[in-house]
Amino acid sequence: MHDHSLRDQIVAEVHARPFQKLHAPLALSHKAILYEDVSPQTVDHAVRQLVDTWGLPRPDNDEGFFFTRNAEYALRFEPHSEFYSLTLYALETLMVPSWHRGEEESLPGAYLCGVEVICQPYSEAELEPLLERHFGDHQVSGSAVMGGAGLVYTDFRERLDSRMSRVLVLQQPKMIEYRCGRLLQRVCEIETYRHMALLGLPLSTELVPEVTRLDQSLAETVASIAEARREPAELVHELMQQAARVEELSARSANRLAASEAYFALLYSRIEELREERLEGIQTIEQFMDRRLDPARRTCRTTGERIERLSKRIARTTDLIRSQVDLSIESQNKDLLEGLNRRAKRQIRMQAKLESFTVIVVTYYAFDLIDRTLRNILGDTELERQLSLGLSLLVPLLALGLFWYLRRLLKGYDDE
């Protein structure tokens, strides 16, 4: 027995992205950045250079996920298939760590979204001033999370100075460090997956008019088939063009829309893991997402389903045309077989008419053969003359016998 080549990778995957032990007070800055044709190796190299910039310990591994920290700061790098995320923690302070312009410019890829999270101990007396300071007069969503171990508030608005949204996490005394780390990570993932899921919406909005146009065009094609207004060859050519266009739309949108659906599922999974409890007078994060994101999710899902249904309808329409062509071919074959049958009948009637001439010819040769035989055997005698006379009288009977024999011979062919 030997170890499977992927065993170590599979075993390590369970612990690939652990939660960290964190506690209030702290502040963090989280960024999600799309690769956009940048190789993961390039990203990994650039991110690891930040470790030295912030004076953090070097990660143990050479590539992939890492978390490193010292007494003041911590950095979490998490690569994904389409994007990577960077989370910079400022420990034992409520000042959000700021990224220097040089550091942001050195990071490869396209910036998608970010969130600032401020985590501090809960104080009921300071709640209203805190909400006023961080969110002003904006509508705030929030809830008690993780069995009341903490409170989460946010307005989901991007701040002009940092181009990030802000989340305020108030930690209750009963929240342990690992639970605090899970909560902060879930908050960052909710913001990231929310934006990743919405990447499919602009594409869906762009494709809807084209899908509608193809839908109407296909309906006209089906009407033409039903009314037989156009030739099948012309309809098949038109369907081929429509099918090619639908496949093009599917190739453009399938991966993006499927990814959006997956990110929506991850988003609601992370929200569910918060185990929200409603606070009086404030909508929960889940209610906000249902109200604001559910229409976008339905649009993305409906667009993908419409493209899929359109492809199936084109396939069914092609089958209709194929059936129409098959019926036309069968009709032509029927006409051809009927023509062959008519010609065969005429040929048989012609053969029947020629049977009489055949009897005459055969009778003539039979009479001539018998007469020559008698003449050669008997010579020029009285007996030969009498037998020839009798043979002449028997010619009608000979003809009738041959006619009867020929009819009997051809009786089976006539029946067929």
- Using one digit for the tens of pLDDT, what is the confidence trace for 160-170? 888 999 999 99
**Alpha carbon distance 79, 371 (integer Å):** 115
Strands 277-278 and 165-171: unpaired
Query: Who has greater pLDDT, 37 or 183?
Result: 183
Q: What is the pLDDT of residue 412?
A: 59
In a domain, 188, yes or no: no
Provide the CA 374 distance to its chain's centre, in angstroms.
96
Q: What is the pLDDT of residue 363?
A: 74
Please tell me whether residues 60 and 137 are part of one structural domain. yes
In a domain, 10, yes or no: no
Please tell me whether residues 172 and 43 are part of one structural domain. yes
Please tell me whether residues 398 and 252 are part of one structural domain. no
pLDDT tens-place string over residues 50-98? 888 888 999 988 888 999 999 999 999 999 999 999 999 999 999 999 8
Greatest alpha-carbon span in the chain: 160
End-of-domain residue from the set 334, 357, 373: 334
Find all residues with CB under 8 Å of 299, minimum gap 6, and list them.
201, 204, 205, 208
In a domain, 5, yes or no: no
Query: Who has greater pLDDT, 176 or 364?
Result: 176
Whole-angstrom CA distances from 188 to 14, 164, 171, 327 are 20, 11, 16, 63
Q: Decide if pLDDT at 414 tops 60.
A: no
In a domain, 163, yes or no: yes
In a domain, 99, yes or no: yes
In a domain, 139, yes or no: yes
**Token pair 């910036």: residue:** 111
End-of-domain residue from the set 309, 334, 359: 334
Please tell me whether residues 320 and 257 are part of one structural domain. yes
- Residue 221, helix vs strand vs coil: helix
Regarding pTM above 0.75, the answer is: yes
Please tell me whether residues 224 and 323 are part of one structural domain. yes
Q: Are 255 and 300 in contact (CB under 8 A)?
A: no
Q: What is the pLDDT of residue 413?
A: 56
Q: Are 110 and 33 in contact (CB under 8 A)?
A: yes
Query: Sorting pLDDT into bands at 50, 70 and 90, what band is 367?
Result: confident
Q: Are 118 and 167 in contact (CB under 8 A)?
A: yes
**Alpha carbon distance 31, 277 (integer Å):** 28
Please tell me whether residues 37 and 155 are part of one structural domain. yes
Mean pLDDT, the chain, integer = 86
Q: Could you list the residue range(s) of the whole structural domain that residue 360 is in?
A: 346-415
Q: What is the pLDDT of residue 29?
A: 95
Find all residues with CB under 8 Å of 336, minimum gap 6, and list them.
none
Q: Are 289 and 270 in contact (CB under 8 A)?
A: no
End-of-domain residue from the set 310, 334, 358: 334
In a domain, 257, yes or no: yes
What dihedral angle (degrees, nearest 10) is formed by the CA atoms of 59, 61, 62, 63?
A: -100
Number of domains forming the structure of the chain? 3
Task: Specify the DSSP element, H or E, that contains 2.
Answer: none
Please tell me whether residues 359 and 325 are part of one structural domain. no
Query: Who has greater pLDDT, 145 or 7?
Result: 145
Please tell me whether residues 277 and 405 are part of one structural domain. no
Q: Over 169-189, what HEC string results?
A: EEECCCCCHHHHHHHHHHHHH
